Every structure is written in structure tokens, then in C-alpha cells.
Amino acid sequence: MKLLVEVPDEKAKSFLEMLNKLSYVKTEKLNPKDEEFYEGLKEAVEEVNLAKQGKIKLKSAKELLNEL
């Protein structure tokens, strides 16, 4: 089974050390392109959630096209 776990930067080193002590756990770091993609996706989901809560207003498709 593969899992994606998000850990605060300041805790990542100790968390990885703990995982590496477990013989049945294999860890690998995302390559920079994948990491950038997931960060962008995370930000997009956060914006959608804020819009659903009425805390921000998203642009319409027409507004986005007018910016181009």
C-alpha cells in the first residue's frame, strides 16, 4: 500500500528517521516536479474550500479569459 503523508517541515527529519527504523517501510522523496504539482493542487483545493465557505470569491471563466 502506498500512502502520502504530509508533515510540517520542522518535523520531517525526525519523522523520516522514525520511519527508516521500521524494516517494512520504504520511503522515497518526491522529485521536485511532483512536489511542485502537489503543492499547486493543495493550494487550489484550499481556495475552493475557502470559496465554498464564502470567505473568498473566485473569478469566473470569462474573467480568466479576459486576463489572457
On whether the pTM is more than 0.85, the answer is no
**What is the Cα–Cα distance from 4 to 21, expressed in whole angstroms?**
18
What integer pLDDT is reported at residue 38 of this predicted model?
A: 87
Nearest CA to 25 out of 2, 41, 56, 43 is that of: 2
Per-residue pLDDT, averaged over 10-25, amounts to 93
pLDDT tens-place string over residues 26-55 = 988 888 898 899 889 989 999 999 999 999
